Amino acid sequence: MSVTIGAAREILRGNDRGGYTVPTAALYPYQWNWDSAFVAMGWITFDEPRAWRELERLLEGQWADGMVPHIVFHAPADTYFPGPDVWRTGHSVPTSGITQPAVLATSVRRCLDAATDRAGAEARAAAIYPRLVAYHRWWAAARDPGGTGLVGMLHPWESGMDNSPAWDVPFARVSPTPTTPIRRKDTGHVDAGMRPTDDFYRRVIALIDLYASLGWDPSRMWAETPFKVADVALNAILHRAERDLLALAQRFGDPAERGEIADRLHRSRAAIGGLWRASDGIFQPVDLSTGERIPVATSAGFLPLYAGIGDGTVASALAATLHRWKALAPYGVPSTAPDHPGFEPKRYWRGPVWAIVNWMIADGFAAAGETGAANAIRDDTATLVRRHGFAEYFDPTTGDGLGGGSFTWTAAIALAWNLLEE
């Protein structure tokens, strides 16, 4: 397969299901939240109305309390588990009951800045803006009810980095489901060695069963969950999105909204800064059920720079960490430190490289003036995609493309990041 701009556009068109883009055929047959935020950044490079449509269709699934679900089940499909019958959220547009990293406001701002149809973009962004305000208020109310400045995730799928070794200890507190049958479809599409284990599925479904029994009420979920983690990526991505929302609020909002966003930014900047672990040269998450630090280094730990958090000392320590990792695994950035015992180079979020994460990490290094690290990550990503195509993820030791093929967000970020040629 040729890996060109034209080929990347073909992936997006081929995965278009009518205003929303599936991540890849069969393996993921619905619309995913953070996927679509990145995918709109790809669409905007060659089809502006289609980029706005992607975001609007995602927001068709938004709940009345502001939550934007991690999956919108626009049309029935029998190639994915767990489907809407397992989630039982009871919404007229069927959705899952949890969210995903809040890339959305960042995507809207980027699409607005990139658009050549200025009037069209202003109108579409203005209509979306109140939905973003509601979404960010939901994050604060539902996922940080104590106002600490750190949001907690209540399900590993909310991190987007589903089976990261960082969740192994807190997730062990979730008892596997005794009732709901596990009817995995993913391992019929992709080698089981590249996917989470059956034990992981029994526990993720147990959490879904618990939350369904609580009527998906955020305060009951917060009080009763056995799994509550302040993830670095989730918080850094939300902080960056709050900054982008503040920029949108200058155009579309009022002083009260701007003040509210600025207050949240003030709190989260200090709290995310507190996740820095100088002895390990990386930011690390906190288990909110115990208050303990989770001493696992993952690619999430670089992302505060993408949020504009971390001074020059922190940025150069993170660049040194990156170089250490690259000496062990040549293609950066592995999702888990290559010297961690939980590192598995082919298994989903336990080791492989993800192009969208690379884009965020490189963006952070560039903003912090660590140009060498930013360029190294961009070069690695370009090499991986050009040699191995638009794979879902890549082996950091060999570069091999893994998981689903013809993958939308890999193609989209290659377009947005300008990694390809005609």
Catalytic (active-site) positions: 162, 392
Cβ of residue 157: shortest distance to ligand DGY, in angstroms? 4
Asked if residue 70 binds ligand DGY (CB under 6 A), the reply is: yes
Instruction: Select 157 or 276, whichever has its Cβ closest to ligand DGY.
Output: 157
Residue 14 buriedness (CB in 10 A; 0-12 / 13-18 / 19+) = middle
96 HSE (CA, 13 A, CB side): 24
Question: What is d(CA 384, CA 20) in angstroms, rounded to the nearest whole number?
Answer: 26
Instruction: Select 136 or 195, whichever has its Cβ closest to ligand DGY.
Output: 195
Asked if residue 167 binds ligand DGY (CB under 6 A), the reply is: no
Question: What is d(CA 406, CA 411) in angstroms, rounded to the nearest whole number?
Answer: 8
Cβ of residue 87: shortest distance to ligand DGY, in angstroms? 11
Instruction: Select 281 or 403, whichever has its Cβ closest to ligand DGY.
Output: 403
Question: What is d(CA 93, CA 201) in angstroms, rounded to the nearest whole number?
Answer: 25
Question: What is d(CA 384, CA 401) in angstroms, rounded to the nearest whole number?
Answer: 8
Question: What is d(CA 422, CA 420) in angstroms, rounded to the nearest whole number?
Answer: 7
Asked if residue 209 binds ligand DGY (CB under 6 A), the reply is: no
> Cα dist. 50→25, 46, 47, 62 in Å?
19, 9, 5, 19
Cβ of residue 164: shortest distance to ligand DGY, in angstroms? 12
Residue 350 contacts residue 165 (beta carbons within 8 Å)? yes
Asked if residue 87 binds ligand DGY (CB under 6 A), the reply is: no
Pattern 226-265, ligand DGY, x by CB under 6 A: ----------------------------------------
Count of positions on this chain that bind ligand DGY (CB under 6 A): 3
Instruction: Select 162 or 400, whichever has its Cβ closest to ligand DGY.
Output: 162
Instruction: Select 29 or 310, whichever has its Cβ closest to ligand DGY.
Output: 29
Q: Nearest-CB residue to ligand DGY?
A: 157
Cβ of residue 96: shortest distance to ligand DGY, in angstroms? 8
Residue of 296, 143, 295 whose CA lies nearest to 227:
143
> Cα dist. 253→68, 81, 112, 131, 231 in Å?
20, 40, 15, 12, 29
Cβ of residue 154: shortest distance to ligand DGY, in angstroms? 14
Pattern 118-157, ligand DGY, x by CB under 6 A: ---------------------------------------x
Instruction: Select 45 or 335, whichever has its Cβ closest to ligand DGY.
Output: 335
Residue 213 buriedness (CB in 10 A; 0-12 / 13-18 / 19+) = exposed
Asked if residue 162 binds ligand DGY (CB under 6 A), the reply is: yes
> Cα dist. 130→32, 123, 134, 252, 257 in Å?
21, 13, 6, 9, 10
Residue 284 contacts residue 297 (beta carbons within 8 Å)? yes
Interface residues toward ligand DGY, by CB under 6 A: 70, 157, 162
